Structure 1
Amino acid sequence: MPHPSRTPKALGLAVTAVLGLTLAAPPALAGPAADPDPVPALVAGGGTAAPQLVTGLAEAAPGSPGEAARAHLAAHPERYRIDPGQLTEVGTGRTAEGRHTVRFQQYHGGVPVLGGQYLVRLTGEGAGQRVESAGGKYFTGLTAPTTPAVPDPVLRGLALGSLTDPRGRAGATAEDHGLVVLPGGTGRLTRHFTVRGTDRAGGQPTTREVYVDATVGGIALAHDARAPYQAGARPATAAAAAPALEPATGTAPDAYGRTVKVNTARLPDGSHQLVDLTRPASITTYDAAGRDLLDFIDGLPADLRPAASPTSDFPAATGADGATDAHLNAGIVYDFYRDRLGREGLDGKGSPIVSLVGVTNDGAPIMNATWDGTMMSYGGGGPQYHSFAVALDIAGHEMTHGVIDHTAGLVNAGQTGAMNEALADYFGNAVEVTARGVSMTDPKAALFGEAVCRTGTPEDCAGRRLDDRRTTVDDYLGTDLSLDSGGVHLNSTIFSGALWDIRRTLDPLTADRLVYRALADYLTPLDDFVDGRNAVLAAGRSMNLSPAQLRSVAAAFDAHGIRAGWESRLGTDSRPLVRAIPTSMAAPAVAGGRWVMGNSTGTGDPALYTGSTTAPGTPTRLSPEDGRRHSWAATDGQSAAWLAVGPDAEGRFGMEVLTRSLAGGPVRSLFASRTEQLAEVRISGGDIAFLVEDWESGRTTVRLSRDGAPPVELPLPDGHRPSGLTLRDGVLGWSEQWTAGEREMSAATVRSLTTGRVTARYESAGTVSSTVLAGGRLLWVETPAGPAARSAIRSGALDGSGVVDVLPADSPYAQVTAAITASDQAVTFQAVISRDEGGKPAGGWTNAALPKLWQLPLTGGTPVRVSCNRGGQYEAAADRGTRVLWLDATTGRTDLVVRDHPAGRC
C-alpha cells in the first residue's frame, strides 16, 4: 500500500503504449434509463482479431472443463481467431454454484506472451455442460523471433543498467525469469528480469520488473514491482523451520496494549510461536525486531524464526512491533475469502500465509506495507504511527494482492496497475467493515488505512478514501511510468470508487461476490478500466443479477466516467502526430518541419520513421528491415542519422551509425562496433558526430565525420568525460565533467569544425548538462552543487566572450527537470513548479504537479506554458520558431503531439 509520495520511480511509458497496444473499447453504452441491458454481447479486441469478450452463449460443451473449453475454441475459428495449439491451460476455477472457468496462457513458438490470457466460462455438469461466455486477450499476428540474438550476459547487464542511480548498481541483482514476448503488432522477444538494488535517495531499496529486448538489446518495458524488498524464493514456513509443532493457544498484547487470544504452535520445549495451525493454510508471523531490510534481500534469513515466547503469554514487544495484529488480521482476511467467497487461501490451494513485521531502513521505521509475491511485510512504529499491521484494511489490501497474483495477475503499471490497487483497496475495506460490523452508510467505512496513526482523526490519517468521487474525465492523472508506475495509486480511487458505490447500492455480500467473480473469472493481466467495467457487468449476468441491479452497476461506473471513449473527453490543445507510442526508447527529433523517431507507428516494429510537423499523413519508414532496432535519431530537416542495434548479418551483436536522406535513397553506414557503446548521434549538413564508450575501460570519446569521411576522434583533456552533444552549422558543442583534486568540475564547450579549435569553455563548479546550439549561441543547463540547488538556463557566445542567464536560478520557474531544446527564437524546457524542494506537491498529487513544458525567448523573459494539456509532457523537441513536439501522456497513453505556438497562461 505505498503512499504515492513515497512510491519509487521507474523508466518507461504507459504500459499500453510500451506494448504497442491500442485497446479497442466496446460500443458506447447508453445511460441506465435508455439501455435496459448494459452487458455488452461482444467486445472487439484491440490490436488483435480475437474478441475481448463474448457473452450470452449457451453452447453444449461436454467433457472435462479444460477439454471442453479447448474444443469450444477450436470449433469456432471464425468467431475467436485463436490457434488452440498456442494455448496452455494454467488453471480451472470452480464456483460454489458449480460453474467452471478455464484460464489459458498464450504462447508464441513456446514463449509465453505477456498478458496473453483467454478464459472460457462453463456452467452445468456432464452432458448438460454449456459455454456461457469467453474472452480475454489473445494476440494475433505475432511473428517475433523466439531465439535470443543478444548474449545472456549482455541482457543481464542492460537490465542492471536500468537502475538510473549508479550507486544503486553496486550489489544489485537481476533474477532471470526467462523469455517473454511483449504483444503489440508483430510482438517483441524479451528476457524478463526482476532487478533489485538501492536506486533511491537515502539508500531505499527498489524492485523493478525489467524486460530487455532479446533481439536487439535495450529496455523494452520497465516498471516498479510492488515490493521494496523480496528475493523471489518462498520464505521458509513454520513447518520447515520447526516440524514438531502442536496447535495451541496463548495470549499476546496488541498494538494498543490490550491482551488478546492468539492461535499459536507449541514446540516440544514448551515455548510458543505465532503459527496458527487451525486452518488448511498455516499462518505464520515473523518479527524482524528492527533488523535492516538489507538482511531480507534474499528472503527470510535462515536464522529468523517466527515470533516466539517461552510461555503461552507473549511479551509486550509482540504487540509494539505489530506481530500480534498481523497474526490476527491474516486470519480474519483468510476467513473472509474462505467463508464469504469460497476461496481457500491466497492461491486458492491453502498454501502457507506468511507475515513479517519490524523491518527497518538503517534503523528507521519503514512507513509502508507490501505484498512481495510470497508474504506480507509491515513497516511502521514510532511516535506518529503504529505498525502498519494494525490496520485490518491494509492487511486485507496486501493479501488481496496475493489473490490477484494468483487470478488475473494484473500488471503493476498504468490503468492496469491502478485497477490492481483499486481491487486491493475494495477488498481491504470490505474485510474491515464486515469484520467490524461497520455500516456502509458510515462515512468512515470508505476510509483506507485510517488506523495507523497514533494521533489525529481517522479522516486525517487515511491514505485514501473510496468515496472521493473522482472521475476519469475530471481527475485522471496522465503520467508515464516515471511516477507511481503510471499512477497506479494516484488513479486507483477512480475505479475503486465505482466498486464501492456498487457495494453501497447492492447487498454487500452480493457486491463482494460480484467483484470477486470479475477478478477470478474475467480479468486478464493487461486489462484497463473499461475492460474492468465489462468484466464486472458480465460477471453480474452470470450471477443472474436482475436488470435493475445490472443498470445500477453500470450507473456506478458511469458516475466515475468509466465508459468507452472516456479518453476523448479529456480535451487537449495539441495536434496528435502519432498515437500510442509503443516504446520507452522513443524520443522525437525535429528540424525544418520534419520529425524522426524510432518505433513510432504503434506496430511494435523496431524501425525509424519520419513525418511532417504540419501536414498529417502516414509516417515514412527510413530504416531497413534487417531485424535490428533503429532509434536514437537526429535530423537537420534534410537527412537523419541514427543508431541500429542488434545482430549483424553474421549474427554478432553490435551497434552501427546509419544515415539517410529524408527524401529516400540509400542507407549509408558511417561507423560500426561490437565492443563499444554508441550514443548521442547528431547531424548537420555533411557533419555527423556521436559518442563512443569503450565497454571495458569506460572511456568516452567524441567522434566526428565530415562529408562522409571516416569518423575521427576529437582530442579531449585527459580524464574529461563528454556528454550532451549538439551540432549545427559547422559548430560542435558538448558538456564535459572531470575531477580536479577532490572537486568535481563541469564545462560547456564549443569547438569550431572549420578551425578545429575549441573557441569557448564555460567552466562551473556545479553540473553542466543539456547543451544546445541556437541563435548563434550555446545554451546549457547549470545546477550549482548542493542538495537544494535550482537549475538555471545559461547562454554563452561561441567565442567565449560572455554568459547571460536566460532563466536565472532564482526564478520561480527554474526547476528544470529534463533536457532543454531550442530554436533560433525560443528555448523550451520541462519543469514542475508546484512541488516543494523535496520534489513532492504541497497540495497532493494532481495533474498540475506533473512535468509541463515552458517556453521563453532565447534572450530571456517570463516563461509561458507550451500547452495546457493537463497530463505529463516529456521529451520536447523544438522545430522552427515556437513550434514544439513532445510526448504527451494526458490521455492515459503516450502520443507524439505538436503545437505551433505556446498556449500562454493556462
Structure 2
Amino acid sequence: MHHRHRTPKALGAGLAAVLSLGLAGPVALAGPVALAAPATEPDPVPALVAGQETTTPQLVTGLDEPAPGGPAEAARAYLAAHPERYGIDPGQLAEVGAERDADGRSTVRFQQYHGGVPVLGAQYLVHLTGDGAGQRVRSAGGKYFTGLTAPTAATVPAAVLRELALGEITDRRARAGAAVEDHGPVVLPGGAGRLAQHFTVRAAVEGGGQQAREVYVDATLGTVALSYEARPAAPAAGARVAGAPAAPAAGEPATGTAPDLSGRRVKVNITRLPDGSYQLGDLTRPAAITTYDAAGRASGELGGGIPADLAPAHSASPDFPAATGTSGATDAHVNAGIVYDFYRDRLGREGLDGKAGPILSVTNASEWGEPLPNAFWDGGKMVYGNGDAKYLPFAVALDVAGHEMTHGVVERTAGLVLAGQAGAMDEALADYFGNAIEVTARGMSMSDPKAALLGESLCRTGTPEACAGRRLDDHRTTVDDYLGVGNAVDSGGVHLNSTIFGGALWDIRRTLDPLVADRVIYRALADYLTPLDDFVAGRNAVLAAGRDLKLNQAQLRSVAAAFDAHGIRAGWQNRIGVDSRVLLRDVSGPAVPAVANGRWVMANATRDAGSPLYTGSLAGGGAPVRLSPVDGRAHSWPATDGTTAVWVALGSDAQGKWSMDVLTRPLAGGPVTTLFSSPSSMPGDVQVSGGDIAFRAFDPAANRSRAYLSRNGGPAVPVPAAADHDVSGVTLKDGVLGWSEQWTGDQGDVNAPTVYSIALGKVTAQYTAAGPKAWIGSTQLAGGRLLWVETSGDGTKRRSVRSGALDGSGVTELVSGDAPNAPSNGTLTASDRAVTYQVGSDESVGGWKNATLPKLWQVPLVGGTPERLSCNRGGQYLPAAERGTRVVWVDATAGRSDLVVRDRPAGTC
C-alpha cells in the first residue's frame, strides 16, 4: 500500500526514455490489415495504435485471421507470416506465458530478445479464439523494438558494474552491508538501445528504514542508466529466497477458532501438525495459505522469503490464543482466503501466480522497533505493519489485503515497471481490486460513500474519510490534477497519480455491472498490458478486453467515457497548458542544460546509445547536432559560451584504459580536444568563457579539490589558492574566476565565496559567510558581481541570495532568507540582468500538490521584487540562464521531462 510517501533518490538518466514509449495515437501503417467493418457509430475501440520508436504497432484489433495449431506455435507463425505489418523477427521472441479461459480465448505472451539478451519491457501478445484448425487471431499488440543495434557483450568488468550499483545506496555505512542481486544483462529500449546489467540493491539504514533500488548499469560505459525504488524489505540472513516460499506444512487440514482484533472468535481453516499442535495454515484450497506473526520483528529483516527462524502463528489447541488476534494474524489469514476466492471464483485465476502457488502473509512487523503503519507486497509475500497510535494493525483491512495481494497478481501478469505512469497503473489496479474485493465480500453498494475508500477501517479514531489512504472517487483528471513531479519524487508519481487511472476504473465499475467490470479490467491486466505501458495504453487495453468479452457498443462507449472524464486519452499532455516553449520533448534523463548566445548544450538529449552530448538552437527548429564523438564513453556535465562547448567524458578508450577527461569542441564543428585526463579524479563545475576554460578536480598531491584553468587551448593547471582549502562551485566569466573555499577554522567550518582575477593572478575578494556553520551553495559570476546562495548556520536552514562586488567592496542581499519566496536549495543561475533560483521542493508540504513542487523564481540583478518565471504547474528543475531574463530548464508538468525555454518572468500566477 505504501501508505506514507517517501522521497527516493533521483532516478538515473534514461528513465524518461524507457517509461515514455508508446504514447503515439492511432496512425496508419503500411501493409494490409484486415479489420472489422465500421460500425454505424464511431467505434470506441481503436483499430490501430502505432508504436513509438518502432515500426511495430502497439495495438491491432478487429482481426479475424486463421492461425491453426497450438496457441504458442500458431501465434509465432502468425507474426512471422506478416512481416510488413509487424516487423517482428520470430527468432527474437521467447514465450513467457500462454493462457486459455473458459470461453475458448487464448493469449500468448512473448518476450523480445536482442542478440540473446532480454529487452526491458518488450513483450508482445497475440490473442486467439477457437482451437485446432479453426483457431483465429482476433488482436495483437504490445511492445517490440525494431531499431535496436546495442552491443550484447559487456566491456566494463563485472566487479565495476556491481560497485556502481552499490553506489546507488546513498548511506555509506549501509552500503557496506548491502545485499546485491545480479539479474544479468538486459537491453534498455529507446533508439539503438543500451546494454545494461540489472541489479537489485537492498540495505538497512541506521536509525530505521531501508534503501532498496532497482539499478541498471550501462555495461559498456560504466554509468548508471536507470535506477528506481525497488519493492520494500531487505533480505534477511538465512531467509528463504523470494519466488520459492516455504512449502506447506506437513500436516492435515483442520478447523478451529481464533479471535480477530476486536476479540470476536471466528472460524478459521488451520493445519494440525504431527505433534498434535496447530498453526495458521489453510490447506482446503489448491493454494496453501499460511500466516506468520513477526512478533515485532523489523520489516527490513523479513525480505527475500520467510526467515528460517520464523514459524507460522501457532497454538497448542485448535482454539488460538488472544495474541493471534492482537497481532492481526487472524484477520490476515481470513482475508487472504477471501482474496483468493475472489480471484478464483469471480475471475478464474488460481492464486496470485495463477498456478496455485503458496500464499504467505506476515503480520505484526515493525520499523526497526518503532511502529509501522504500512503494508507492502515484497515480491513473495504480504507484510503487514503493527500500526501505531493512529492506525490499527494493517492486516485488519480487507481492502488493504486485496491491494497488496493484487500487486502479486500484477507482478505475475503485466509486470508493470514500478515508476512513472506504469507504476501509477500498478497502484491503481491494486486499489481497484482491493476495493472491489471488500465491496463484494461485504455486500456493499457501489453507491456507499465508503466503497471508494482504501484503508478506511484502519483508524483507531476519526472518520473513515480522514483515515483512508486513498479514495477512488476523488474525480482527479490528467489535465487538471496530474502531479508533474520529477523522477526524484515517488518514482515519478507512482502513488501520487494513481487515482487518476484508478478513478476511471472505479467509474467503469459504477457504470457497468460490477462483475462485468471486474472481468474486463482483469482481462486487460492479464492479457493486454505490458511492463512499460502508460495511461493511454491502459485505456486501450481495457477497451480491447471489453471487446473480447463481447461488451456491446453502448457499454464500450461508457468505458471510453469513464476514461474521457479523467482526461485519459491520446495527447492529454498537450492539453495541460504551459507558458513555456518546448525545445526538446521527453529528454531521456535529468541532465543539466547549458545555454549561451542562443544555443543550448545538453547530454542525453536524444535516445541514441550511450550518453551523447548535443547542441541546438533556442529559436527551435532543426534537429539537434551531436558534439561528442562516438567512442562508447559517457559525455555529460557541459558548459558553453555560445561558441565553444566543454564537458566531461568518462569511460574506457579503444585500448580499454579508463579515464575521466575534460573535452572541448567548437559548436560549429571541428576537432575534439582533450584538456585534462585522469584515471581517478572526477572533474566537475566545468566552465568556459572565451579562450578560458576552468573546472574543479581533486588533486591527490595536495589532498584537496582545486580549481584548474586552461588558457587559449593550453594545458590545464591548478589555480594558486590557500594550501589547505577545498574548492567547490567554480564559475568563470570574462577573465574572472569565482568559487567557494571551505576550511576548518577556530570557530568550526568556514565557507567563503571567493573572486580570483586571472589577469592579476590573485584573489581580489573573499566574503566570509554569516556564521561559522553557514554553508555556501553554487556561485555565479554575472553583471560584474559574484552571486551565491547562502544557508544560515543557526539551524533554521534559511537560504538567501547574496551578491558581492569583484573587488570585495560589500555584500548585497537580493533575496532574504526570511522571505516567503526564499530559495529552497543551494543552486542558482544568473545572466547580465537577472538571477533565477528554485522555490518549493519535492517533499510533501501539507499534502502533495503541484503548487508546492519546485518552481523557478527570478529577481533583477540590481535587486527588486522576485517574480515567478513560469506559471507551469508541475516541477521545474535544472535552470540555465541565457541573456536578459531568458531561462532554459527541464519541466515535468506534462508528465515527462521536456527541455523548455521562457524569455521573461510570468509575474503573478
Q: Structure 1: which amino acid aligns with 2:886?
A: R
Q: Which residue of 2 aligns with 1:83?
A: 89
Are 2:14 and 2:589, in contact at CA under 8 Å, matched by a contact in 1?
A: no
Q: Which residue of 2 aligns with 1:152?
A: 158
The 1:786–1:311 alpha-carbon spacing in structure 2 relative to 1, beyond 3 Å, is: farther
Q: Structure 2: which amino acid aligns with 1:234?
A: V
SS of 2:392 mapped into structure 1? coil
Are 2:291 and 2:361, in contact at CA under 8 Å, matched by a contact in 1?
A: yes
Percent of paired sites with the same residue: 66
Are 1:719 and 1:739, in contact at CA under 8 Å, matched by a contact in 2?
A: no
Q: Does 1:194 align with 2:221?
A: no
User: Equivalent residues in 2 for 1:730-749 (5 A)?
Assistant: 730-740=735-745, 743-749=748-754
Q: Does 1:345 align with 2:351?
A: yes
Render the CA deviation track for 1:202-227: whole Å, top value 9, x for unaligned. 64212121212111122211111232
Are 1:882 and 1:901, in contact at CA under 8 Å, matched by a contact in 2?
A: yes
Shift of 1:604: 4.8
Q: 141, 144, 168: which is aligned to 1:138?
A: 144
Q: 474, 496, 501: which is aligned to 1:468?
A: 474
Are 1:20 and 1:183, in contact at CA under 8 Å, matched by a contact in 2?
A: no
Hey, what's the Cα distance between the residues in 1 that align with 2:597 and 2:462? Answer: 59
Are 1:766 and 1:783, in contact at CA under 8 Å, matched by a contact in 2?
A: yes
User: Equivalent residues in 2 for 1:644-793 (5 A)?
Assistant: 644-693=649-698, 699-715=704-720, 717=722, 720-740=725-745, 743-764=748-769, 765-785=773-793, 788-793=796-801
Q: Which residue of 2 aligns with 1:533?
A: 539
Hey, what's the Cα distance between the residues in 1 that align with 2:101 and 2:747? Answer: 68
Q: Which residue of 2 aligns with 1:500?
A: 506
The 1:563–1:698 alpha-carbon spacing in structure 2 relative to 1, beyond 3 Å, is: farther
Moved more, 350-359 or 300-309: 300-309
Q: 222, 226, 240: which is aligned to 2:227?
A: 222
Q: 614, 621, 626: which is aligned to 2:626?
A: 621
Hey, what's the Cα distance between the residues in 2 that align with 1:758 and 1:695? Answer: 23
Q: Which residue of 2 aligns with 1:894?
A: 897
SS of 1:365 mapped into structure 2? coil
SS of 1:902 mapped into structure 2? coil
SS of 1:443 mapped into structure 2? coil
Are 2:398 and 2:434, in contact at CA under 8 Å, matched by a contact in 1?
A: yes
Shift of 1:9: 4.7
Q: Does 1:811 align with 2:814?
A: no
Moved more, 777-786 or 399-408: 777-786
Q: Which residue of 1 aligns with 2:845?
A: 841
Render the CA deviation track for 1:340-375: whole Å, top value 9, x for unaligned. 111111111111111112222232112211111111
SS of 1:361 mapped into structure 2? coil
Shift of 1:20: 7.0
Q: Which residue of 2 aligns with 1:11?
A: 11
Hey, what's the Cα distance between the residues in 2 that align with 1:589 and 1:164? Answer: 27
User: Equivalent residues in 2 for 1:170-569 (5 A)?
Assistant: 170-197=176-203, 203-230=208-235, 234=241, 240=247, 243-296=249-302, 299-569=305-575
Are 2:303 and 2:378, in contact at CA under 8 Å, matched by a contact in 1?
A: no
Shift of 1:639: 0.3
Q: Which residue of 2 aligns with 1:871?
A: 874
TM-score by length of 1: 0.94
SS of 1:38 mapped into structure 2? coil
Hey, what's the Cα distance between the residues in 2 that align with 1:734 and 1:22? Answer: 45
Shift of 1:239: 5.3
Q: Structure 2: which amino acid aligns with 1:864?
A: E
The 1:50–1:615 alpha-carbon spacing in structure 2 relative to 1, beyond 3 Å, is: closer
Hey, what's the Cα distance between the residues in 2 that align with 1:248 and 1:721? Answer: 71
Are 1:22 and 1:580, in contact at CA under 8 Å, matched by a contact in 2?
A: no
Hey, what's the Cα distance between the residues in 1 that align with 2:707 and 2:191? Answer: 37
Hey, what's the Cα distance between the residues in 1 that align with 2:300 and 2:343? Answer: 33
Q: Structure 1: which amino acid aligns with 2:774?
A: G
* Consecutive unaligned residues in structure 1, runs of 5 or more: none
Q: Structure 2: which amino acid aligns with 1:195?
A: V
Shift of 1:615: 4.6
Q: Structure 2: which amino acid aligns with 1:819?
A: T
Shift of 1:749: 2.5
Are 2:16 and 2:589, in contact at CA under 8 Å, matched by a contact in 1?
A: no
Q: Structure 1: which amino acid aligns with 2:850?
A: N
Q: Which residue of 1 aligns with 2:584?
A: 578
Are 1:782 and 1:791, in contact at CA under 8 Å, matched by a contact in 2?
A: yes
The 1:167–1:688 alpha-carbon spacing in structure 2 relative to 1, beyond 3 Å, is: farther
Are 2:243 and 2:380, in contact at CA under 8 Å, matched by a contact in 1?
A: no
Are 1:239 and 1:245, in contact at CA under 8 Å, matched by a contact in 2?
A: no
Q: Which residue of 1 aligns with 2:637?
A: 632
Shift of 1:302: 2.3
Moved more, 134-143 or 381-390: 381-390
The 1:285–1:10 alpha-carbon spacing in structure 2 relative to 1, beyond 3 Å, is: farther
Shift of 1:735: 2.5
The 1:718–1:276 alpha-carbon spacing in structure 2 relative to 1, beyond 3 Å, is: farther
The 1:238–1:8 alpha-carbon spacing in structure 2 relative to 1, beyond 3 Å, is: closer
Are 2:150 and 2:609, in contact at CA under 8 Å, matched by a contact in 1?
A: no
Hey, what's the Cα distance between the residues in 2 that align with 1:870 and 1:801? Answer: 40
Q: Which residue of 1 aligns with 2:888?
A: 885
Hey, what's the Cα distance between the residues in 1 that align with 2:6 and 2:611? Answer: 35
Are 2:23 and 2:536, in contact at CA under 8 Å, matched by a contact in 1?
A: no
TM-score by length of 2: 0.94
Are 1:582 and 1:604, in contact at CA under 8 Å, matched by a contact in 2?
A: no
The 1:531–1:238 alpha-carbon spacing in structure 2 relative to 1, beyond 3 Å, is: closer
- Count of residues paired in the alignment: 895
Moved runs in structure 1, 4+ residues, more than 6 A? 694-698
Q: Which residue of 1 aligns with 2:35?
A: none
Hey, what's the Cα distance between the residues in 2 that align with 1:812 and 1:85? Answer: 61
Hey, what's the Cα distance between the residues in 2 that align with 1:286 and 1:104? Answer: 36
Hey, what's the Cα distance between the residues in 1 that align with 2:809 and 2:492? Answer: 45
Q: Which residue of 1 aligns with 2:600?
A: 595
Q: Which residue of 2 aligns with 1:93?
A: 99
Are 1:185 and 1:605, in contact at CA under 8 Å, matched by a contact in 2?
A: no
Shift of 1:573: 0.6
Are 1:23 and 1:47, in contact at CA under 8 Å, matched by a contact in 2?
A: no
Moved more, 273-282 or 463-472: 273-282
Render the CA deviation track for 1:697-727: whole Å, top value 9, x for unaligned. 9853432222222222335556543322211
Shift of 1:192: 1.3
Hey, what's the Cα distance between the residues in 2 that align with 1:265 and 1:866? Answer: 66
Moved more, 797-806 or 80-89: 797-806
The 1:731–1:298 alpha-carbon spacing in structure 2 relative to 1, beyond 3 Å, is: farther
Shift of 1:12: 4.4
SS of 1:810 mapped into structure 2? coil
Render the CA deviation track for 1:118-155: whole Å, top value 9, x for unaligned. 00111111111111111100011101111112222222
Hey, what's the Cα distance between the residues in 1 that align with 2:336 and 2:10? Answer: 31
* Consecutive unaligned residues in structure 2, runs of 5 or more: 29-37
Hey, what's the Cα distance between the residues in 1 that align with 2:10 and 2:324? Answer: 36
Render the CA deviation track for 1:144-169: whole Å, top value 9, x for unaligned. 11111222222222222223454653
Q: Which residue of 1 aligns with 2:861?
A: 858
Shift of 1:15: 4.0
The 1:192–1:718 alpha-carbon spacing in structure 2 relative to 1, beyond 3 Å, is: farther
Hey, what's the Cα distance between the residues in 1 that align with 2:403 and 2:475? Answer: 20
Moved more, 144-153 or 635-644: 144-153
Hey, what's the Cα distance between the residues in 2 that align with 1:218 and 1:721? Answer: 26
The 1:781–1:397 alpha-carbon spacing in structure 2 relative to 1, beyond 3 Å, is: same
Which of structures 1 and 2 has the larger relative contact order (alpha carbons within 8 angstroms, sep 6+)? 1
Say what the alpha-carbon RMSD is for the aligned residues. 2.5
Are 1:871 and 1:891, in contact at CA under 8 Å, matched by a contact in 2?
A: yes
